[in-house]
Amino acid sequence: MKKFLFLFTLLLSLSFWEILVKLTRFPAFILPPPSLIFKKALEVLQNGLLLKHTLVTLKEILFGIFFGITAAFVLGFILAKSKTFENIFSPYIVGFQAIPIVALAPLIIIWFGQDFLSKSLISALTLFFPVLLNTITGFREVDQRFHLLFKSLCATPIQTLTKLEIPASLPILLTGLKIGVTLSVIGAVIGEFIAANQGLGFLVSLAGGLYDTPLRFVAFFTLALIAFTLYSAVNLLEKFLISWKNNL
């Protein structure tokens, strides 16, 4: 029912958009109709242009997700376990987060070059903070009674981490991951805007210079599809990993 409702509202929105453009007679470089965008999408799919740039951006995003999640999880675990470390590092983390990624991205590109590594790092930094906060919250929300139980059973720190803390904090961790994976798309595109000769961000800039607005919308929709796919993947992972909750 939800999928049907989504498809119905999507078709209704596209139909309204098509009719609006036809009635107002907007030029294609201002607001192209969905039919023209679809035609452009078929064109760039057939000549391989869209696939080429999509794969570049997807590579940057996936590496960014890996770097960002790994760093956020490790640091989040340390800060959750030590109030001393949190008091030391929290001001730096909050201050760093206050710097707009758009302002920081040029420096990262200067330091790490214009290849995919710099774009991946920008993507990683974009998702780092929400995943970090949820990691800290997730580990701290574990019921202390379970900690006492594991301690009474002489569980090792590794057993406590893998058998208690990670499973118990998964709902909060995965919520942060849902936010993070969508933000990672933004980070990669920002890097491509600043310095790149390939990728969907570069394609958006190229289309803007050529006043090819239909191509811009094709890139927009592709980015939205990537973000939606990543979000859905985390949703499926969540259902698989915390299915035990439904049996309680």
pLDDT in tens, the chain (248 residues): 666 777 888 888 888 888 988 888 888 888 899 999 999 999 999 999 999 999 999 999 999 999 999 999 999 999 988 888 888 888 888 888 888 888 889 999 999 888 889 999 999 999 999 999 999 988 888 877 877 878 777 777 788 887 888 888 888 899 899 999 999 999 999 999 888 788 999 999 999 888 889 999 999 999 999 999 999 999 998 888 876 555 54
**Position 81 in a domain:** yes
Q: Is residue 134 part of a domain?
A: yes
The pLDDT of residue 224 is: 94
Answer yes or no: is 91 within a domain. Answer: yes
How many angstroms separate the Cα of 12 from the Cα of each of 31, 34, 40, 222, 225?
A: 18, 12, 21, 20, 19
127 contacts 65 by C-beta, under 8 angstroms:
yes
Q: Which two tokens stand for residue 108?
A: 């990262």
Give the residue ranges of DSSP H helices in the chain: 2-24, 34-46, 49-81, 83-97, 101-112, 116-140, 144-152, 157-160, 166-194, 200-209, 213-241
Q: Give the Cα separation of 21 and 65 in Å (integer).
A: 38
Overall domain count for the chain? 1
Residue 16 lies in a domain: no
pLDDT of residue 248: 45
The reply to whether 17 falls in a domain is no
**CATH number of 124's domain:** 1.10.3720.10
Q: Is residue 73 part of a domain?
A: yes
**Integer angstrom CA distances of residue 87 from 37, 78, 93, 117, 240:** 52, 12, 11, 31, 36
The values of phi and psi at residue 100, to 5°, are: -60, 135
Question: Distances from the Cα of 57 to the Cαs of 36, 38, 73, 137, in angstroms?
Answer: 24, 21, 24, 31
Q: What is the pTM of this model?
A: 0.88
Domain with 147 in it: 33-239
Residue 163 located in a structural domain: yes
Instruction: Please name which of 74, 176, 206, 184 lies closest in space to residue 120, comparing C-alpha atoms.
Output: 184
The verdict on residue 120 lying in a domain is: yes
Contact 204, 216 (CB under 8 A): yes
